[in-house]
Chains A and B, each alone.
Chain A
């Protein structure tokens, strides 16, 4: 019964996308994917996703450690706040970023005066993407960190290891699968983000257009071939990474 549910919800749409994309063979798909606009867009998506993953990994490790190992007032609120980005509509994210970093706000205007263009440039897009994928690494790491406890690290400290050394040699290997999975989810989410980025990107052709924006634009311009081709490319990239990571965890998914 569960399988039927899955089938209807997941497999049928998946099948439909692939069908519609490859209806006329693989050549037109390749052609759509290698236009300068598409290539630029993949590059922009890649850069934005890279920064988002990097920032969220660092934050994720820090926040997970904080949540699991420390007590502090407001901890539960902190935890809920980390999940909040998933509850925020992408439109609101864009609005919020413009309110704060837009040219006509005090902070944003000051930044722009000093040569920092945040909105309508890559930094704003990175901020938006990082925001929407904030909880992913944290949520993967927290349960595992809870599991492994802190004893081993403490032992290392008493034996004279530095904090970072202990972290690198003891904790990191223990959490590497959860971390890897969290990173992959963040990557997938970052590549697929549309709503928030659409508002803050400025849609400069060849400069601040991400792959998802190209999908939207092509679809709106009745260029369904490009829209589906790029969508499938994005999905395949993420699926491949997901499958690879899943396969590399034999002890967990046996």
Chain B
């Protein structure tokens, strides 16, 4: 397949997606209006797709793949699946792990592959900007919230232990830092210094910085700390698994966006794209919602309230990940490097 053919196909798929999204958005769907979410319902030739994803949505993906196999499009498609920490998985694909569809926890893990030419730079050219699920940074507390933690200001009080992963090794922790920074900036009418001051004060209360977000969740559930900064869907996941925690959705927090894409060197690009489109469809989005992710497709029903924070901001408000990675997380010199050095803590 030549470049131009591929581009034409992709454009057609995008057009179909827009049409589908419009259709789904305008209908008062009852969740499982299945066929409206796939294009044309034709059967694709048999293929095996390699799905490489981060670890939290594993159960969701198992269900989604099963559902996909029931559609006419997907019934001849088999899958190999791989789940692990988002950064590890991204690096594995970069080192040659075969993948047709990739799904990560945050954009820089996708950008890494774009730089290597494994994912096309147009991966986020669709209306969803390449994202398949959303979440927000929340404050996770012990069941019953014994320390009555409600706001970001509570985190810098003396004697409060805050758990977060190390932002130089954990993508999840980067979202935490940007949420913390962002809310302080917004509260002070846009002052960058206010944000930096808050980060310094916050990290004074952080006793342990695990190297991954999931490990920091483990640390918290095993008894360390009073409050954990985590993704909303991680908190929901832990609750689903019977961990005794609650979470507070702060009024001001950041919107977390999880990307997914097909790889440029996929041997079955049509099938890979079909699966990716399916992820944006009602069935898949409903399954994600039931797993605790905020769906990107409007109108999807979910058992979780997903309260909309009054002051929700996005990474775009700070210039996008490319800028933020440099300004905040460059080990050679950045906002977080200064904060961590002041603490005598790990810089990447």
Asked if A108 and B82 sit within 8 Å, CB to CB, the answer is no
Interface residues of chain A: helix, strand, loop or mixed (majority): loop
* In the complex, B72 has a CB within 8 A of chain A: no
Asked if A207 and B80 sit within 8 Å, CB to CB, the answer is yes
Mark contacts of B205-226 with chain A using CB atoms, 8 A cut-off: 1 yes-contact digit, 0 otherwise: 0000000001100100100000
Known: A119-B96, A120-B98, A202-B92. A222 touches B82 (CB 8 A): no
Total A-B residue contacts, Cβ distance less than 8 Å: 53
* In the complex, B242 has a CB within 8 A of chain A: yes
Measured in the bound complex, the distance between the Cα atoms of B81 and A204 in whole Å is 6
* In the complex, A43 has a CB within 8 A of chain B: no
Asked if B95 and A222 sit within 8 Å, CB to CB, the answer is no
Which A residues touch B95, using CB under 8 A?
98, 102-104, 119-120
* In the complex, B84 has a CB within 8 A of chain A: yes
* In the complex, A220 has a CB within 8 A of chain B: yes
Asked if A222 and B96 sit within 8 Å, CB to CB, the answer is no
CB nearest neighbor in A for B238: A222
* In the complex, B42 has a CB within 8 A of chain A: no
Interface residues of chain B: helix, strand, loop or mixed (majority): mixed
CB nearest neighbor in B for A205: B81
Which A residues touch B268, using CB under 8 A?
none
* In the complex, A158 has a CB within 8 A of chain B: no
- Chain A's nearest CB lies how many Å from the CB of B301? 25
Which of these, B89, B218, B242, contacts A220 with CB under 8 Å?
B218
Which B residues touch A98, using CB under 8 A?
95
- Chain B's nearest CB lies how many Å from the CB of A132? 19
Chain A residues bordering chain B, tally (CB within 8 A): 21
Which A residues touch B215, using CB under 8 A?
220
Q: Which of B196-250 contact A (CB under 8 A)?
A: 214-215, 218, 221, 237-238, 241-243
Query: How many interface residues does chain B have, given as a range?
Result: 20 to 34
Asked if B82 and A205 sit within 8 Å, CB to CB, the answer is yes
Which of these, B83, B218, B242, contacts A205 with CB under 8 Å?
B83
Which A residues touch B238, using CB under 8 A?
222
* In the complex, B169 has a CB within 8 A of chain A: no
Asked if B96 and A220 sit within 8 Å, CB to CB, the answer is no
Mark contacts of A104-125 with chain B using CB atoms, 8 A cut-off: 1 yes-contact digit, 0 otherwise: 1000100010000001100000
- Chain B's nearest CB lies how many Å from the CB of A204? 5
Asked if B96 and A112 sit within 8 Å, CB to CB, the answer is yes
* In the complex, B46 has a CB within 8 A of chain A: no
Asked if B55 and A221 sit within 8 Å, CB to CB, the answer is yes
Asked if A217 and B97 sit within 8 Å, CB to CB, the answer is no
Which A residues touch B314, using CB under 8 A?
none
Asked if A203 and B58 sit within 8 Å, CB to CB, the answer is no
10 examples of A-B residue contacts, CB within 8 angstroms: A102-B96, A104-B95, A104-B96, A108-B96, A120-B92, A120-B95, A202-B82, A204-B82, A220-B215, A221-B58
Contact residues of A with B, CB < 8 Å? 98, 102-104, 108, 112, 119-120, 199, 202-207, 217, 219-223
Known: A103-B95, A108-B96, A203-B83. 17 other contacts (CB 8 A): A98-B95, A104-B95, A104-B96, A112-B96, A119-B95, A119-B97, A120-B92, A203-B84, A203-B92, A204-B50, A205-B80, A205-B83, A206-B80, A217-B55, A220-B55, A220-B214, A221-B55
What are the 10 A-B residue pairs with the smallest beta carbon separation, nearest first? Answer: A103-B96, A222-B241, A102-B95, A120-B97, A203-B82, A205-B81, A202-B97, A98-B95, A203-B84, A204-B82
